[in-house]
A = this chain, B = another copy of it.
Amino acid sequence: MFTLGDRTFTSRLLTGTGKFSGTKHMLAALQASESELVTLALKRVSLNDPADDLFSPLKAAGFQLLPNTSGACTAEDAILAAHLAREAMGTPWLKLEIHPDPRYLMPDPIETLKAAKALAREGFIVLPYIHADPVLCKRLEDVGCAAVMPLAAPIGSNLGLETREFLRIIIEQAQVPVIVDAGIGAPSHAAAAMELGADAVLVNTAIATAADPVAMATAFKLAVIAGRMAYEAGLPGQHQQAQASSPLTDFLLST
């Protein structure tokens, strides 16, 4: 169990709603993941167009919604999107994403900090998506963010923990939960993030674009639990020299 803002969650797997082939498949996968916190872009809330609306079915299925500001290029954009999202979805929870770069969708540290400060002050529960930058993470914590969401690798790259050394430092220093976001392309990546001591991970692309999203969601669910258990159970260190696991049957040599 871990606590984010004013809520305690059992699942350490956060999920997203992009790239699924349809709402029905999405819901089935999210339910299989046992995720409790699900992010969706403001654009996906179409109160007037039920066919394109994700809000109502997700709400009905009992998920805690985490609106995101995907598409925002400045703090101003993001603050506007946050207000619209709060109104449309009735929640102060917010995944703050500001990425002026359309090609790699890398987050902007300056605008993100500016928006986070303003929105936290207004009472939003702010979860900022950012580079795996240890100093920036401390600053976001200082302005009142409920968690930090450093990236593992570029969004959608499926490359895994490219930022491992920096995640290690962020986790060591953070006083708020650390949720590893972006680039997690396989259950082994999610497990590795949890083994490092991350509090949670967010996975979207790898589930949504799998040949079988329900099975993949289940796989991620198990991997996140496994990684957390291993972290708590005390992983042994790495060695460059072999260490026999079976006792050597030395008497053989003298027979």
Contacts and interface: CB of A to CB of B under 8 A. Distances in A.
A249 B216 CA distance: 27
A242 B19 CA distance: 14
Interface stretch (A56-64, A118-126, A204-212): A204-212
Interface in A74-110: 77, 80-81, 97, 99-101, 103-110
Contact of A110 (B39, B134, B136, B243): B136
Interface residues of A, number: 108
B191 A216 contact: no
B40 A246 contact: yes
A44 interface: yes
A32 to B, nearest CB: 10
Given A188-B189, A195-B188, A233-B216, A248 B110 contact: no
A215 B209 CA distance: 32
A253 B208 contact: no
Interface string A136-163: 1011000000000000011111110011
B185 A188 contact: no
Contacts of A19: 245
A62 to B, nearest CB: 21
Given A113-B110, A135-B108, A249-B69, A205 B243 contact: yes
B222 A252 contact: no
Contacts of A133: 106, 109, 131, 133
Interface in A229-253: 229-230, 232-253
Given A104-B242, A223-B191, A44 B247 contact: yes
A4 interface: no
A238 B157 contact: yes
Contact of A233 (B110, B215, B232, B253): B215
Nearest to A235: B186
A72 interface: yes
A238 B189 CA distance: 12
Contacts of A210: 230, 233-236
30 contacts: A18-B244, A39-B246, A41-B248, A68-B246, A71-B248, A71-B249, A71-B252, A71-B253, A81-B249, A101-B138, A104-B241, A105-B244, A108-B139, A109-B109, A109-B110, A110-B113, A154-B242, A159-B240, A185-B236, A185-B238, A187-B230, A188-B192, A188-B223, A215-B230, A216-B235, A219-B227, A219-B233, A222-B222, A222-B229, A223-B227
